[in-house]
Structure 1
């Protein structure tokens, strides 16, 4: 497969007598305040080329990296399409999974109806070109990892595609790198993820533009989704296999594309979670339902903001770019549907591409992995998992300690560091430590780093504003709304606006009287309690709204105790079973709320002190 390269300048506008004026950038930089200083008015009647259009649009509409500047990005994108498609310019788009969603969206932005010229590639691989994809059907990737280990031990050179990079992720790039380095100290291993690509002292730094020259120097390559699109690895005769673990983070098409980055027809070994755990909005697979739920939540958030002295609501524009909001919903429901049937969605996509899906049984693999021996025994697989877990724990503790003992930097240093695209490991730790100090206002320890990684801050925020900090909730949401409006110059993108505010979530918890349950520390709870039954009836009657606002999905037959437990989990509390009793010839379990002894009230005191001084 050949690769089309435009050879235009990336991010910096330059022109010479022999070169056309051009700029290359990611959609994150498509706004005036970026390093590209992008002004759509300067590019009228030009040629716009968008590769992987479906993922570019989805990234622009939904990614966290675009959130702060999303309104300006979408405003620039619309102006660009109006100036190009509304004039004499041209837009070239390409995607292996191109759909009408992208085409309709670009035309809606431009405000013109054009007949697109579509070149459809109907080619499907023949027997010689089709991949053999060995699918591991288990609920965990333990056996795949064991077979990967055996493959490397016997001289294999794999390309491994992973969906996570965090050091705490059991099957992520950093954990697997640490384990494989310990097992194979003489082999050269390259880890490619967003962190290593931004680390000037890491061998992966700057490698994206020359992968075909860099990768042959390594025996094992571990890659995160940072190289799933726009990359063509054309090396022949180096890699012996491609392996992938899809835990349910990426969309189904992204997983398929990551498998195809290596163009050579070598065996693929794949483990996919049965269902994904990422969902957009309330997880709905209905466009109308998703749009309506987001709009209702926006109106609720606005009504709650009206309780404050915030005077910017009269200028708030909730109808910003209806075409972008609709496109977001179309792509979101497709994403949610893929997550619901994650494994089957990915396998079916690979089948439609013409590849052969083969169940990776030990007998089948004995004839395909180089040693032609049976897969590892269950005992060996469990030993391997335990070894990986040990390495993860050791490395993670070392990293947490390194963050806790990093140099304390000033606010000015932090602001400069935050803007930098490339940072050393030392700088990344210094930035993280400063951000932890901003969050908690208490001494930074390795234990605090661990708790923050586990989502402690989100739990504390809800608990604080639901209890001791309740009087500051309206002001908190008003301040965030003010910032959103300033960044968007009076406009909001509805999904981002809803994600940032806490008032509605806490309102639901108060409606269900969760704060009252926290006050009585000695109370015993059971399913037949009248107030808990009322709580359950209210929650089940409003299941859809609760899913939209709080993100908790409740089954129609959820018991009162189950519902209470789900809400307590949002703030880091739990229930313990004290005993069982007989009630009307049935066994009844008695519970009590467990108060977490995790130091959160020290943080609350710091937050209260800061609020009092404002």
Structure 2
């Protein structure tokens, strides 16, 4: 965009707000710094805590509130008050005064009206709180310049933020106060790739293989992305972020030193009491969430779909949507146990993968090098094609076909079919050993495609169990005595198999029902087209977009929303508005229809004909040229 030869004028901001004392914690977990947060509150100081983990902030909030409640209860039960100084005013404290005033900001509540107001007037609002706990949801541009908090705590788990982003969180609070920082020694989910070339190659190779398997043009599958400067930039930024996250403890420490801060070693100790307290808080949060979802009010799909487009949902609305998603996904009554098993939508992804590998594979095709490949089942092909249709601008698609091909080559379909029929194995069967050998030979590819690490020294049964875990299946074992020796036999957990079969059956019935509705819709459209041709000598309007089947886990089942159904629901809504205008005359109807597309205008007329045939005849009689102005 810049004229050729013109040199850019670049201003580099090298300002460093240093001169702070940073207490650096080297422990394996965050228990020591959590204990320090509790201590500072007990001493009457006001902390601000920043973290890259919403779950940590929620657990800390609950733990602090429970400790405050226990401290008050313990104080109330004391019989000997000689060591306590009574205030001059003997008026009992209100319950609100006794509570620790903690304010939290994270992704679940950052859009609420009270938090929007709090953030807008944050320098004034903080004066009414004892502790502020925030995640990155307290976004860029927020500046807390008023002195109120006495100490800053930073707890980072090396999941999503680089060192510079962590530093930005720490410096949201401008006054120079002591700082305590703990960083996880390593990423909890493994190290990420730091070479931008490998990141790019992995994306393009998987896209190309998927495009080949689902029988679309290979170049279309790649989208010419190898020449796309945006993809190159993305890969370089991603590689830099991955390197920083992989080495976050060292990277953040060096950045703080470079900024001119003083690092004070706080040791590598852990605090068992704080660890148990945070674990108990996490369990309590989970149990409460499971109960609240199960007890939430039932809603219909229309309400659910409408809420998906809202920027913020109230807590009760979010629970209602979660309950609908789970009920629609599994076709079962929503109980706390089912909510826990669903694991935030992770379970259905595993069952979808199981459904894919159990389905009959497609035909054998050959690439330009003469290599033969088995095409995936239609259900997998439709998911990949759907993603490419919906997210055509992206490059990092799910590539479900590539994952399916890797599992097919491992021989998992035959193994799973036998195991789900109740077969027991010992681990020395030819199929199991072949699966293990193939896994060890192709460990690098399996890691890249299925995200599984295959150690070379593990047994065939252990390797099989890792694949089964990706299908939400597990194995039980027994050790009978044979020839004077105990022999271990393995078989699939019967409850897990029964649950999976029930969900797979429900999904199959849902697909058949959708196909039946689509067939009825096609027949209805064909009948209407024939009627229009016979009555008025005009062709019916063109059809709305073809159905797309995908899996984004936001609408139950496959998370799929049929564009044809959505288009028709919208047209019926327009028809309702048009019929309300009939009483005001034909011109009012024309004025409304002029705001719609040609297809929508024809659809509205078809809907009026179906819903109110008499009104349709009156409207046509009053406007003989209606075919012309429909377009």
**TM-score, normalization: structure 1?**
0.68
Q: Distance in 2 between matches of 1:580 and 1:332?
A: 53
> For 1:470 and 1:492, how far apart are their aligned partners in 2?
29
Q: Counterparts in 2 of 1:287-436, with a 5 A limit?
A: 287-306=196-215, 318-320=223-225, 322-361=228-267, 381-436=271-326
User: Which residue is equivalent to 1:372?
Assistant: none
Tell me, in whole angstroms, the C-alpha distance in 2 between the residues paired with 1:289 and 1:589: 45
Shift of 1:581: 11
Inter-partner Cα distance in structure 2 for 1:250 and 1:189: 25
**Cα displacement (A) at 1:566:** 2.3
1:456 aligns with 2:365: no
The answer on whether the counterparts of 2:356 and 2:377 sit within 8 Å (CA) in structure 1 is no
Aligned to 2:523: none
User: Contact conserved, 2:331 with 2:506, CA < 8 A, in 1?
Assistant: yes
On the 8 A contact 1:199/1:425 being kept in 2, the answer is no
SS at match of 2:108: helix
**Residue 198 of structure 1 corresponds to which residue in structure 2?**
111
SS at match of 2:28: coil
Alpha-carbon RMSD: 3.2
Q: Which residue of 1 aligns with 2:100?
A: 187
For residue 235 of structure 1, what is the aligned residue in structure 2? 146
Deviation at 1:329, TM superposition (A): 1.1
Distance 1:603 1:331, change over 3 A: same
Q: Which has the larger radius of gyration?
A: 2
CA distance in 2 between partners of 1:317 and 1:468 (Å) = 27
Does residue 221 of structure 1 match 2:221? Answer: no
Q: 2 CA distance for matches of 1:359 and 1:575?
A: 47
Q: Supply the distance in 2 between the matched residues of 1:347 and 1:544 (Cα, whole angstroms).
A: 32
Aligned-pair CA distance for 1:559: 4.5
Q: Distance in 2 between matches of 1:117 and 1:576?
A: 67
1:272 aligns with one of 170, 178, 183? 183
SS of match in other structure, 1:160 = strand
How far does residue 245 in structure 1 lie from its aligned partner after superposition?
1.6
Alignment check: 8 A CA contact 1:464 1:470 kept: no
Equivalent of 1:524, from 425, 434, 438? Answer: 425
Query: How many Å separate the matches in 2 of 1:259 and 1:579?
Result: 56
User: In the TM superposition, what is the alpha-carbon distance from 1:326 to its structure 2 partner?
Assistant: 0.9
Does the CA contact (< 8 Å) of 1:316 and 1:492 recur in 2? no
Choose from 466, 474, 481 the match for 2:357: 466
**Partner deviation per Cα, 1:146-192 (whole Å, 9 max, x = no partner):** 11111111111111112222xxx4xx222221221222252211010
CA distance, structure 2, for counterparts of residue 482 and residue 355 of structure 1: 53
Moved more, 468-477 or 386-395: 468-477
* 1:158 is the counterpart of 2:47: yes
Could you say if the C-alpha distance between residues 284 and 207 of structure 1 is closer, same or farther in structure 2, counting changes exceeding 3 Å?
A: same
1:514 is aligned to 412
Measure the CA separation in 1 of the matches of 2:290 and 2:339. Answer: 6
Determine if contact 1:197/1:206 at 8 Å carries over to the other structure: no
Whole-angstrom CA distance in 2 between matches of 1:578 and 1:494: 47
The alpha-carbon deviation at position 390 of structure 1 amounts to: 3.0
Q: CA deviation at 1:258?
A: 1.2
Q: Distance in 1 between matches of 2:2 and 2:184?
A: 45
State the partner residue of 1:82: none
1:48-103 Cα shifts (integer Å, max 9, x gaps): xxxxxxxxxxxxxxxxxxxxxxxxxxxxxxxxxxxxx458xxxxxxxxxxxxxxxx
Instruction: Name the counterpart of 1:479.
Output: 382
Determine if contact 2:214/2:376 at 8 Å carries over to the other structure: no
Q: Report the Cα distance in structure 2 between the residues aligned to 1:451 and 1:294, rounded to whole angstroms.
A: 31
How far apart are the structure 2 equivalents of 1:183 and 1:243? 19
TM-score by length of 2: 0.67
Question: For the Cα contact (< 8 Å) 1:196–1:205, is it kept in 2?
Answer: no
Structure 1 residues 451 and 420, CA gap change in structure 2 (3 angstroms): same
Give the 3-state SS of the residue equivalent to 2:173 in structure 1: coil
Alignment-derived partner of residue 284 in structure 1: 193
Q: Which segment drifts farther, 382-391 or 294-303?
A: 382-391
Higher helix share: 2
Q: Distance in 1 between matches of 2:146 and 2:63?
A: 26
1:131·1:268 contact (CA, 8 Å) conserved in 2? yes
The one-character-per-residue Cα deviations of 1:227-270 (angstroms, maximum 9, x if unpaired) are 2533222122x111111221222222322221121112211212
Q: Which residue of 1 aligns with 2:394?
A: 493
Contact kept, 8 Å, 1:273 with 1:343, in 2: the verdict is yes
Unpaired segments ≥5 residues, structure 1 = 1-84, 88-111, 363-374
Q: Distance in 2 between matches of 1:534 and 1:140?
A: 40
